[in-house]
Structure 1
Amino acid sequence: MAWWMKFVGAFLLLLAAVAGIVIAVSAVMPFTDAKRAAEEQALSGQLLMEVEETTIYNGSSQTVTVIGKGPDGARLAVFVPEDGEMTVFPLQGTVTAAQAEAAALEEAEGAEVLHVRLGPSAEGPVWEVAFKGADGRLNYVYISAEDGSWRERILNL
């Protein structure tokens, strides 16, 4: 009798693990599909010849940012909105992700960076730096990719 109980328990545990994996993969699929479609658009439009990084930026609308090398070999960011035209932003001579992260964390000791993403805004491209402060609260800092100035801070969420 104990053998069957162990078997049923192990089977239910395995079934729960498989269901969890299926649910996790299904939850990530829309993001993966959006990234893949944006990369294909940037490459097929000859805006990029090679893709280095792709991220999803959620500002006033969802935009996929594809970073890579353009036809002339220069590093470019292509903003691919859900609907509308793609925008190209040259990265040569602009603020880097590392510089934006350092600027955002100047006053935040013991912070844990969650992500640094490039995206469009009404005033021009911005780096979104999301981090948890030492107190565990969520913070967002938006820094201009063109000149490194602070655009917005959303602190202590």
Structure 2
Amino acid sequence: MLNWIKFFSVFFLALTSVIVVTIFTSAYKPIASVKTSAIEKAIQSEQIAEAEYAQPYNGIQTFVTVFGLDSKGEQKAVFIDENKKEASFEEVKLTDGISSDVAIEMVSKELDIKKLLHVKLGLEEVGPVWEVAFKNENDKLSYVYVLFEDGQWWKRILNL
């Protein structure tokens, strides 16, 4: 009897593990597909010769920001709008603005960051911005948008 209990316990644990892995894998496929497509578009437009990584950005419009090197070896970020079929997309040289580390530093000078969730480069109506998402000392979700060009604060959404 004890062997049957052990068998069913191990069987259900293995079955649960397989189901969880399958669900997470299938849930991640759409975003992985969008990232791959954005990287291909950035390379096809010849704005980036070698892609390093891509990250989605959801603002007023949804973009995938592709980071990489252009043909001259300069680091760039290209904002790919999956809905447009343009030959070229908006881009910025990463040396023309502040880095993500500087954006985090600027936010942490004025606000207490308990846990940093993410920092993403995106495109808004004012131009490129760093979106800094974090939890504050009260465990409330906050977003701060810092302008890429000069590090000025554009928008704050605090204590959600």
Q: TM-score, normalised by structure 2?
A: 0.93
119-128 vs 69-78, which moves further: 69-78
Corresponding residue for 1:123? 126
Give, in whole Å, the separation in 2 of the partners of 1:97 and 1:76. 14
Q: Does residue 1:140 correspond to 2:143, yes or no?
A: yes
Give, in whole Å, the separation in 2 of the partners of 1:55 and 1:115. 11
76-85 vs 145-154, which moves further: 76-85
Q: Does residue 1:58 correspond to 2:48, yes or no?
A: no
Quote the offset at 1:108 in angstroms.
2.3
Give, in whole Å, the separation in 2 of the partners of 1:109 and 1:77. 29
Corresponding residue for 1:12? 12
82-91 vs 11-20, which moves further: 82-91
List runs of 5+ in structure 1 lacking aligned partners: none
Give, in whole Å, the separation in 2 of the partners of 1:9 and 1:93. 58
Corresponding residue for 2:2? 2
Give, in whole Å, the separation in 1 of the partners of 2:8 and 2:130. 51
For residue 43 of structure 2, what is the amino acid of its counterpart?
L
Overall identity of the aligned pairs, in %? 39
CA RMSD, aligned part only? 1.2
For residue 15 of structure 2, what is the amino acid of its counterpart?
L
3-state SS in 1 of match to 2:40: helix
- 1:80-114 CA-to-partner distances (Å, cap 9, x unmatched) read 01212421122223111111111111122352111
Preserved CA contact (<8 Å) 1:65 1:119: yes
- 1:32-67 CA-to-partner distances (Å, cap 9, x unmatched) read 111111011111221101112311101112210001
For residue 148 of structure 2, what is the amino acid of its counterpart?
A
Quote the offset at 1:77 in angstroms.
0.7
Count of residues in correspondence between the two structures? 157
Preserved CA contact (<8 Å) 2:38 2:82: no
Give, in whole Å, the separation in 1 of the partners of 2:156 and 2:92. 23
Preserved CA contact (<8 Å) 1:105 1:111: no
Displaced runs of 4 or more, over 6 A: none
Corresponding residue for 2:40? 40
Corresponding residue for 1:103? 106
